[in-house]
Chains A and B, each alone.
Chain A
């Protein structure tokens, strides 16, 4: 006979549950059959989550003196908080409430009502056995440092940083490259409005660079993250620029005088040149140049020093002795907006990128169209002078392709339409443009209108994946051309289209180091390698690690408006936290029973949240309760039973299993497992 007084509540969920489970029968059965296990009241109700449903529970707690509550309804993901709160309102510790998922795990997945009802009874029995072993828990309260770290200063990171800074809280904005701006700074026009990318981005860059609440750390990388939500300590490596930012005026004379020209692989995508001391682009923020030591004559051969000789500042801004600096900052929350890498088109050899001169990547074409780019905005073949007469744009390069990435990169259709338009605009309306696409995805505001507009401009659309781009002419008229071999699925025929120039609309990929970065911050990546959000629909910018948020393409491919929205959303989440000043963490945590830990270290690598600490001197492991997210990996891993998870102790889980198994399929209760 249980010493607890347990109330069992079965929800109809309209007809969601009631149509497949005989809920009235379950309630009557539970009251009769589970009385020995402590059940003193069992009810069914149309919508347990409604105020009236919750009041039923609250009244019973008060009037019948319930000490435990079991709610058989939907998944705890949806309404656990609701019912916990209802219990708390009636004075019962919220963690003495257990949910049994008879919707997701029973009614939605079965077709035989009698059997489903039986299963619901078994699961409720398990819940009753388990809840008796629940312990009252108190949430952990942690104070929140009001500073925020934003990693990555592309458009998403910049937006997030400005929003937080405008609200009056300090932000550390860390950017790996010498200038902030990210990929958006490389684009010429943005779809579908065709406004100048730089014109709309640079004001935001300037704001981020000069905002009194934003501490900009460009040319810097996060080395290490310690601590937990509210109290992170982040170590940042500020790489040596060899330019003293305190005195440099950004006049650019050093760049002008530098005799060493190198191909700019990063900003100009290999299409243009820069100096060994350089600023990635004219509007760079911060304005200070950086010396590329691998190509600097002084660093390589000990001679030259032209930049230092011509630097007009007093004292001289060029500092060849400068070293990397390690900074430590304390922050309460972190937003990761680390962006994407472009799919490397060389991985699809049949498209000829890197082998056929006039095959360009989307980023190269962006730079080509840019007024400050290598051709000053003119569309030219690789020789830099010839204007193409026919251009092919290939969609889905590296995307929607099981050989490379299965997912849709989202932006390529619109980007390809933009390219088609730009070719017509820059090389003249008589230039033939062929877009090879699989499906046309132009789903957002004003996007399809843009598609209609490009259609009206006379661009040809061929529906089919391109098999090959070749310079091997077979037919008359193909000599000296690049030939696109593709199936036109709308007419059901193979086509060969000779063109002068091919633009590969390469897809977006996770950053090459996203797994390592994720590990550093204690968050995981999805199968595709993008950071995993807490909930794909309802919590897209939070992660499973408290205090770590994600925004922009680091979370998945998206366009500029969506990145801006996510940056702002992440900042709103962070601001909400900061305003609370204190955070209540769910107390479902793992802890080590020190006396039982033998120091075998099996659990040491298990924690995805870096909450496990090993004390070498005492040979025992400790778990930081604020970092722990209660996932249970270490609890399962510990072979000594020295790690327990609150709310998930072996005893609780075994009691639940016993409850489940006590009910045989035929309906009778089996008290002792049969021994052969």
Chain B
């Protein structure tokens, strides 16, 4: 515990959307309890601290660091290393820090292509000279420097040691509050923390267990996009041909999406012991495609398989929407690289 007696809390925002900060604030009046229990040591979204302040802290000064966002550029990585050094407990907070999330999908293409889309080929861009971000710029006042944009997005645990992971895009407020309560109990009352390396703020089965829709055996003959059908509100969405990542996704969210008729997108990541959420779901889907009969010509079965799989729009973005950067593949080869 620090000199002033109150534990120190930090929250940092790397390559992410800011939803994680909002989710923390979404614990509502409990945020007052957080303020009462913790001293905020660094929280750029809500408090005015500078990096030099953090650099000035002794190592391990911060008791709890919630790090959200993926590692997209050199600044993200430097901040991750700095905060790791200054924090006792480092938490990968939310899907970006945990597994790359939506930014991680850029691992399916190249850095050049990403910059091209963002700075050159976009209806809202006005960049007639085609200027792209330069890491260094010699201005009259001296050399200016901006962070280096990486070729590959990394998750937090691919650059520093991570003590705990809170999954979700964003994590559900009631789960955040449960975790904070546990941390407070540990800091103030000496209660035990969960074993290092564990996923906290989540369940330990698949989303299906929390989902109230009726589940039967499955045989899918084609997939539908959400706008194409009005789902039966009683029946498992997968059985209706609506893509739902629920079976391959860790519970904890309360199955919010499937219960209201929108297939689970998979934001809580894979279950414990599963190395690759996308591959798991892909093999599961492949297992329940209702095509081919014994004795049927193999080429014909293959054609039918292709036809069903073609009804899945953007399979990489469907199966690896959140987990690309943390998957077995991590990234796609682009131009032989």
Contacts and interface: CB of A to CB of B under 8 A. Distances in A.
Nearest to A602: B284
B283 A636 contact: yes
A600 interface: yes
Contact of A641 (B238, B251, B273, B328): B273
Contact of B271 (A518, A524, A637, A641): A641
Interface stretch (A86-94, A120-128, A525-533): A525-533
Given A525-B295, A599-B208, A605-B217, A675 B274 contact: no
Contacts of A619: 209, 215
Given A636-B287, A641-B273, A604 B217 contact: yes
A640 B248 contact: yes
A598 B205 contact: yes
Interface string A307-335: 00000000000000000000000000000
Given A596-B272, A600-B238, A633-B287, 16 more contacts: A515-B295, A524-B294, A527-B295, A598-B208, A599-B215, A600-B215, A601-B218, A602-B287, A602-B288, A605-B288, A619-B215, A641-B270, A642-B271, A650-B273, A650-B275, A654-B275
Contact of A598 (B207, B238, B330, B331): B207
Interface in A571-626: 595-606, 614, 619
Contact of B247 (A595, A614, A633, A639): A639
A403 to B, nearest CB: 13
A598 B251 contact: yes
A184 B218 CA distance: 44
Given A605-B288, A636-B287, A639-B280, A595 B274 contact: no
Contacts of A201: none
A619 B216 CA distance: 10
A251 B337 CA distance: 87
A292 B298 CA distance: 42
Ordered nearest first, which 9 A-B pairs have the shortest CB separation? A639-B248, A598-B206, A637-B287, A639-B284, A598-B208, A600-B247, A641-B274, A598-B209, A600-B208
B151 interface: yes
A306 interface: no
B100 interface: no
A518 B294 CA distance: 11
B275 A598 contact: no
Nearest to A614: B217
B40 to A, nearest CB: 35
Contacts of B175: none
B281 interface: yes
Contacts of A443: none
B88 interface: no
A640 B247 contact: yes
B206 A640 contact: yes
A606 B280 contact: no
A598 B268 CA distance: 15
Nearest to B328: A654
Interface string B200-223: 000011111100000111110000
A438 interface: no
B300 to A, nearest CB: 12
A638 interface: yes
Nearest to B293: A515
Interface in B254-311: 270-275, 280-281, 283-284, 287-288, 293-295, 298
Contacts of B206: 596, 598, 600, 639-640, 642
A456 interface: no
B287 A595 contact: no
B16 interface: no
A78 interface: no
Contacts of A525: 294-295
Nearest to B151: A676
Contacts of B204: 595-596
Given A527-B295, A637-B288, A640-B206, A598 B247 contact: yes
A331 B66 CA distance: 63
Interface string B302-330: 00000000000000000000000000101
Contacts of B274: 640-641, 650
A169 to B, nearest CB: 33
Contacts of A518: 294
A597 B205 contact: yes
Interface string A642-658: 10000000100010000
B100 to A, nearest CB: 13
A505 to B, nearest CB: 23
Interface in B220-253: 236, 238, 246-248, 251
Given A639-B206, A639-B248, A605 B151 contact: no
Contacts of A600: 206, 208, 215, 236, 238, 246-247
Nearest to A518: B294
A438 to B, nearest CB: 23
Contact of B294 (A529, A595, A598, A603): A529
Given A595-B205, A619-B209, A640 B271 contact: yes
A597 B205 CA distance: 6
A601 B246 contact: no
B152 interface: yes
A603 B248 CA distance: 13
Contacts of B215: 599-601, 619
B271 A596 contact: yes
Interface in A537-555: none
A602 B328 CA distance: 23
13 contacts: A529-B294, A601-B218, A602-B247, A604-B218, A619-B215, A636-B287, A638-B280, A638-B284, A639-B247, A640-B274, A640-B280, A641-B280, A654-B275
A654 B152 CA distance: 23
Contacts of A633: 287
A637 B42 CA distance: 45
A596 B337 CA distance: 38
A575 B274 CA distance: 45
A554 to B, nearest CB: 15
